[in-house]
Structure 1
Amino acid sequence: MGMIPWLTEPVMLHSDRNPGACTMTPEQCAYKSAYWRNWYQADHRFSLPTVAFFMVAIGIFTIAHILTLVFPKSFQKNPVWSRLVAFSRFLSYKSWRIAGWNTNSLGALLLGGAGLVYFLSMTLGPKPYYWPNTKEISYGNSPPIATRTGFMALACMPFLVVLAAKANPITALTGISHEKLNIWHNWVAWAMFVLALIHTFPFIVFHVWKGDIRAQWNDGGVWVTGVVALIAQAWLTFMSIPWIRNRYYEFFKSTHLFMALVFVIFFFFHCDFRMSSWDYFIATAVIYTLCWLYAQCKTFFEHGIRNKARLVAQSNDTLRISIETTMEWDPEQHIFLRFLTCGAHALTAHPFTICSVPQPGRKNTLVFYVKTRGGLTGRLMAMARKNPDVQIPVLMDGPYGGIPAGKLDEFDKSLIIGGGAGAGLTLSMVEDFTRFSNPQEEKSQLNVIVATRDPGMSAWYTRALEDIAKRQGRDSLIPGISIHIHETFTGRTGLETESKEVEVESEIKTQSVESKECKPLTTEIFGIQFFAGRPDLRALTRQVASQDGVSVGVVVCGPSSMTHDVKYAASEVQSHILARKAGTARALWLHTENFSY
């Protein structure tokens, strides 16, 4: 043990690859140094192919993204191209709901299956798993199966870390926003953890057989650093299981970065500059630092540190957050907010979907409609109730994700669906449609479906629509738009198939006197209809895509059951496009938004 704890001295960037003279028989030496068994080339045999596997997957999606950008719009109506796109979308949308849980898409499962085949093949394919050591002959102290899994786990690390960054090169290359890459961050974490376990236990088996397991542990070094790193890795992996993460999100958020730091530090010492192992730490540090610096520059230099968030309780369950800003954004983008007066919450940023659109040439207002829960949102709601219209300092990082500018303009029909907190998101889509629609003609259609359990939602939602009409100078029916509000709270049971005119006194008892006078006009402008009970989203999605030759854009933000129903119907439409079934749209594109909060 040298002066630097847990590191062999002299410390170098790479260890020596010279195995020295082999003292065994020529046959035994050839066996030990074979392609898949040579310890001194293990990083080249197992780490580099793992990097190549990830790079090929990224490359495929990068090429697909570039093709969608460079192909002219006219070519996208080509039947062959339409069917190819429909097939890829079918893989992206097709999923199953099992015991209240949504599976990942068929395409994601297939890609994950390819990864599973790769790692199983590289782990279990080469032989042997253990050296044929005897008490007289030793081929080495590192079981081959432990060696290869260790180097494959090491190669996963740069991709694991980059997939967790909000601004990252994978998003820039593939066009896949960071929140949709999170599933791959999670899956790569599991792959790395399982590889680490397979790396660990053969050493225990070997040293138990050898009879020096206690001496190895007492010696410290790789055993201590490896165990600490494995414990930190287990914490990170299991705490990221969705139902645990969602239930204890605040605790998860506050401990995740700390445990990640513990893992990286002890993993670094555990590798002890063997071959090219530290190169992967250098690559990870450089890429993640650039991603982190980019996000910090957006926060402090682009948005500044003097922003104030105004909090208003819209109903018992909904909080309105508004921030005056000069920034611009696209519909459905989200932004990370860090509230500086919320105790420990000031250390972490939380994602919120933007529910407003920027006004060109003016000072803009970011608006968020938040469904309050425990933790941060509960504390913010308490502040809003205690001091109405309170303003608190906030830092902003973003915007990220969202729908590319002008994307929905490509479609003949658009269907926007919001459930729960996702209802606020539909407002930005409505305003975006309103400001560009021509009162003299109806070139496209926007159908909005909102479902809510909050009895007070209809009131604040209608007031928000009234504000949109005033900002856009609309006082008559907007052609092509319809908004259906489905109230699913207790006391409103059974789906009503016919719309009804809304009487303020009976339908929205919490609405103000001013809103009561304006609501009939707002109802007429936006074509608002009210229903009781849950909407049949599968039927509604099929209906909007039931016209030959039209193109349809669908956006959904809401509970997992709502998202699944829409994705199910969207995948069904793709299969109809592939089969050239009559009465089916030419194309259907679906965007799901995760950050409604």
Structure 2
Amino acid sequence: MSKLFKRGVSFDGMDCIKDSSSAAYMQAGKASQSAVSWYYQANYAKFTVYFGVVVIFIACIKNIWYRSSDKVYLKSHQKSLNPSLISSLVAVSTSYGRYIGYKPINSYICRVLALPTSLGSLLFVIASTAYLACYCFIPHYWYRGCSGFGTPPLAIRAGVMATAITPFLYVLSGKSNMITLLTGISYEKLNGFHQWAGIITLILSIIHVVPFMYQAMAEGGASFLAETFSSKDYWSGYPPFVLLVVLCVGGNSWFRSRIYEGFLHLHWMCGIAYFATLVWHINNALDMQRYMWGALAFWATQLIYRALVKTAFRPSALFLKPRPATLTKLPKGTYEVVVTNVADMKWNPGQHCYLRFAGSRILDNHPFSICSVPSTVSADSNELRFIIVPKKGLTGKLYKELDESITLKKKVFLDGPYGGTVRDPLSFDNLSLISSGSGVTVCLPFLTHVTQHIAKSIEAGTAFIPKDIHFVWIIRHEEHIDWIREQLEQAVSIAGDYVTIDIYVANRKEIPSDKTGTIDSPAETEKCIDSSYDSRSTFPMGINIHYLKPNIEQIVLDSEKYLNRKTMFVSSGSGSMRKSVGSGVSSLQTLVFNSDMNSRPYPIEEIYLHTEAFGW
């Protein structure tokens, strides 16, 4: 067998080019195909799909388990303090996974290659890559004795595996997609795996090309290589390969952060062109077009669903009509957008919408976290509130328009809501909300939602689970408090001792000695640019102002003494802050899998972390 697949200009005494029409050559070609069949290579596409399906199935089971366990805990938490054996095993197993999974990775390579920055996600990417690499490289043989005996098996394996990834690539690209529906994992978290799938597809595409080039060069040199790659079967592969390179390179965070609008439009146009040219290149070989039609079916379905359910194309009274929006300046270079006439919309804490403003920049579509919650009185009084820190492009243009007037009326098309978490915050005993800057727009709705629930329960005399809500917000300027001052005061007034709010002002030059409340040592404060704002004297008890940059990880670790059976952390803001929270929550997992060593009257069953960011 090894002799049959010996590579070179000659094979068993035959010249791979000159003797290509001889009977012996034909016989050797049949033997090569018999040993490694061309048709068998299609199975490697199935092996690739099986892996993806199994992973999605496991994530789906996990989603069902936590949705149901949250409902059970809501109903029976007062009746049973001892979890079942199965629940305990799941809790301990999950805590070990979270202990690893929540750990952050500060790696330059991860940032450059768009790899996940959490250890758990990175390990999954490594394991998936290893699985694909084993199926690609371990089976032999890589090459045939002569190129005339058929295409190199390594090239075909890599090609069909790249094609099999295509349906996942397009499903993961959608804001409303089947994987999110089944697993409960929001599309922006799946976007990291979308990028990884694209890179793996590019690598497999390169592996697909190299054996053809190598064998042609080995047998006939540069002239034979040029002759081989001038045929239609080969040059039809150039367009999809080039488009895939553009998609992968352009999708890197470095480019996205600098030319977001350009990236967005280039990406979807290249995505359509890549699909079309890949279908042309496949040309029905090994029935690989089935994967392409599957990708098209998923892609089209989620686009139609998104158009009819999430955007202005929804069949309602607002079909193709924008909604009224009011833009108002806020302190320190920010502004808010309040969208009314949203009685037909439902959303949950932590979700976001894409806003498309009618006018000169109608093509610009940006995501913003919803800072408000649905009204508990009437849906007609609902409004969507967004706090926006202007950057380049659309947000900066709108802020410049506000320079001419304090308030601006606009028309806006909504796309959403998306994101959030499938976990019910009302089913957790402790809720710790940690944010920085405008990331507070993610955490504030959780605070409002839970405190409103507590107020209703107290009024009705019914039991409720959340017993401790800790809201932590890090800001640069004290004026930023006015963004959400009313909501913070309302939360404290209706939930009382159940809520503790700590606001850290990181930039403060002087600390006035005549202010009441919590003031930290001047030696611990950082340099900053403003000390004229004076709002704290009117804050009610329960809202504490600290003039320093806090140690976020230590704040998380210090919460250990307050933890009950189930705790939920929500984090949104800067990348460094989210990493600190992730590291702290990872360390707290020891309280779950070492619960038998803790002198507590009840076991700590779960410490869950939900993060939100638009760094993708």
How does the TM-score come out when normalised to structure 2? Answer: 0.82
Contact preservation (8 Å) 1:456, 1:508 = no
Structure 2 counterpart of 1:402, one-letter code: G
> Mean Cα displacement is larger for which, 270-279 or 203-212?
203-212
Cross-structure match for 1:139 = 149
> Mean Cα displacement is larger for which, 457-466 or 233-242?
457-466
**What is the distance in 1 between the residues matched to 2:562 and 2:272?**
54
Q: Secondary structure at the match of 1:184?
A: helix
**What is the distance in 2 between the residues matched to 1:315 and 1:194?**
48
Structure 1 counterpart of 2:124, one-letter code: L
1:562, CA displacement in angstroms?
A: 0.4
1:232, CA displacement in angstroms?
A: 0.9
Structure 1 counterpart of 2:38, one-letter code: W
- 1:39-78 counterparts in 2 under 5 A? 39-43=38-42, 45-71=43-69, 72-73=72-73, 78=87
1:358, CA displacement in angstroms?
A: 0.6
Q: Secondary structure at the match of 1:431?
A: helix
**What is the distance in 2 between the residues matched to 1:452 and 1:30?**
72
Structure 1 counterpart of 2:407, one-letter code: D
**What is the distance in 2 between the residues matched to 1:32 and 1:499?**
79
Once the two structures are superposed, what CA deviation does each residue of 1:36-86 show, in whole Å capped at 9, x if it has no partner?
Answer: x2113322x211111111111111111222222345436856533321231
Structure 1 counterpart of 2:483, one-letter code: W
Aligned pair partner of 1:362 in 364, 373, 379: 379
Contact preservation (8 Å) 2:430, 2:564 = no
Structure 2 counterpart of 1:590, one-letter code: L
Aligned pair partner of 1:248 in 251, 254, 259: 259
> Mean Cα displacement is larger for which, 54-63 or 449-458?
449-458
Cross-structure match for 2:4 = none
Q: Aligned Cα RMSD in Å?
A: 3.0
1:312, CA displacement in angstroms?
A: 1.3
Structure 2 counterpart of 1:426, one-letter code: C
Cross-structure match for 1:353 = 369
Contact preservation (8 Å) 1:547, 1:583 = no
Aligned pair partner of 2:546 in 527, 531, 537: 531
Alpha-carbon spacing, 1:425–1:269, altered in 2? closer, same or farther (3 Å): same
Once the two structures are superposed, what CA deviation does each residue of 1:3-61 show, in whole Å capped at 9, x if it has no partner?
Answer: xxxxxxxxxxxxxxxxxxx9757776344223xx2113322x21111111111111111
**What is the distance in 1 between the residues matched to 2:560 and 2:360?**
46
Q: Is residue 2:475 matched to residue 1:456?
A: no
Aligned pair partner of 1:491 in 509, 525, 533: 509
Q: Secondary structure at the match of 1:545?
A: helix
Structure 1 counterpart of 2:235, one-letter code: V
Structure 1 gap segments, 5+ residues each = 1-21
Cross-structure match for 1:212 = 224
- 1:545-560 counterparts in 2 under 5 A? 545-547=560-562, 549-560=564-575
Contact preservation (8 Å) 2:503, 2:545 = yes
**What is the distance in 2 between the residues matched to 1:115 and 1:423?**
35
Structure 2 counterpart of 1:321, one-letter code: V
Q: Is residue 2:132 matched to residue 1:119?
A: yes
Aligned length: 546
Alpha-carbon spacing, 1:217–1:404, altered in 2? closer, same or farther (3 Å): closer
Structure 2 counterpart of 1:124, one-letter code: F
Contact preservation (8 Å) 2:556, 2:584 = yes
Contact preservation (8 Å) 2:357, 2:410 = yes
Cross-structure match for 1:15 = none
Contact preservation (8 Å) 2:433, 2:570 = yes
Cross-structure match for 2:247 = 236
Alpha-carbon spacing, 1:478–1:214, altered in 2? closer, same or farther (3 Å): same
Q: Secondary structure at the match of 2:587?
A: helix
**What is the distance in 1 between the residues matched to 2:488 and 2:119?**
38
Q: Is residue 2:444 matched to residue 1:435?
A: no
Once the two structures are superposed, what CA deviation does each residue of 1:463-501 show, in whole Å capped at 9, x if it has no partner?
Answer: 4545xx3xx8x86772311211111126369xx9x8149
Structure 2 gap segments, 5+ residues each = 1-22, 74-79, 521-528
Alpha-carbon spacing, 1:531–1:275, altered in 2? closer, same or farther (3 Å): same
Alpha-carbon spacing, 1:552–1:262, altered in 2? closer, same or farther (3 Å): same
Contact preservation (8 Å) 2:327, 2:409 = yes
1:246, CA displacement in angstroms?
A: 2.0
**What is the distance in 2 between the residues matched to 1:144 and 1:81?**
43
1:538, CA displacement in angstroms?
A: 1.3
Contact preservation (8 Å) 1:177, 1:400 = yes
Once the two structures are superposed, what CA deviation does each residue of 1:352-400 show, in whole Å capped at 9, x if it has no partner?
Answer: 1111001032321100111211112111211222333212221112111
Alpha-carbon spacing, 1:426–1:272, altered in 2? closer, same or farther (3 Å): same
Cross-structure match for 2:277 = 266
1:434, CA displacement in angstroms?
A: 2.9
**What is the distance in 1 between the residues matched to 2:156 and 2:215?**
13
Aligned pair partner of 1:322 in 330, 338, 347: 338
Structure 2 counterpart of 1:49, one-letter code: F
Cross-structure match for 1:19 = none
Q: Is residue 2:612 matched to residue 1:593?
A: yes
Structure 2 counterpart of 1:543, one-letter code: D
Structure 2 counterpart of 1:308, one-letter code: P
Q: Is residue 2:296 matched to residue 1:289?
A: no
Structure 2 counterpart of 1:57, one-letter code: V
Aligned pair partner of 1:383 in 390, 393, 401: 401
1:572, CA displacement in angstroms?
A: 0.5
1:162, CA displacement in angstroms?
A: 0.1
**What is the distance in 2 between the residues matched to 1:388 and 1:76?**
56
Q: Secondary structure at the match of 1:57?
A: helix
Structure 1 counterpart of 2:470, one-letter code: N
Once the two structures are superposed, what CA deviation does each residue of 1:321-362 show, in whole Å capped at 9, x if it has no partner?
Answer: 11011122111111122222242xx22422111110010323
Q: Percent identity?
A: 25
Contact preservation (8 Å) 2:32, 2:144 = no
**What is the distance in 2 between the residues matched to 1:484 and 1:549?**
20
Alpha-carbon spacing, 1:397–1:548, altered in 2? closer, same or farther (3 Å): closer
Alpha-carbon spacing, 1:489–1:248, altered in 2? closer, same or farther (3 Å): farther
Structure 2 counterpart of 1:273, one-letter code: N
Contact preservation (8 Å) 2:279, 2:289 = yes
Once the two structures are superposed, what CA deviation does each residue of 1:206-265 show, in whole Å capped at 9, x if it has no partner?
Answer: 33333333334444x233331121111011111222233223322211211111122112
Cross-structure match for 1:275 = 286
Alpha-carbon spacing, 1:510–1:95, altered in 2? closer, same or farther (3 Å): closer
1:306, CA displacement in angstroms?
A: 2.7
Alpha-carbon spacing, 1:98–1:205, altered in 2? closer, same or farther (3 Å): closer
Q: Secondary structure at the match of 1:115?
A: helix
Structure 2 counterpart of 1:139, one-letter code: F
Alpha-carbon spacing, 1:85–1:127, altered in 2? closer, same or farther (3 Å): closer
1:455, CA displacement in angstroms?
A: 5.0
Contact preservation (8 Å) 2:335, 2:389 = yes
- 1:384-399 counterparts in 2 under 5 A? 384-399=402-417
Q: Secondary structure at the match of 1:164?
A: coil
> Mean Cα displacement is larger for which, 450-459 or 553-562?
450-459
1:510, CA displacement in angstroms?
A: 5.7
Cross-structure match for 1:479 = 497
Once the two structures are superposed, what CA deviation does each residue of 1:416-472 show, in whole Å capped at 9, x if it has no partner?
Answer: 011121023332223223322246899612111111124531233324545xx3xx8
Alpha-carbon spacing, 1:475–1:88, altered in 2? closer, same or farther (3 Å): closer
Contact preservation (8 Å) 1:333, 1:402 = yes
1:507, CA displacement in angstroms?
A: 8.4
1:573, CA displacement in angstroms?
A: 0.8
**What is the distance in 2 between the residues matched to 1:56 and 1:191?**
19
Contact preservation (8 Å) 2:356, 2:412 = yes
Cross-structure match for 1:33 = 34
1:196, CA displacement in angstroms?
A: 0.3
Aligned pair partner of 2:469 in 441, 446, 450: 446
**What is the distance in 2 between the residues matched to 1:69 and 1:30?**
56
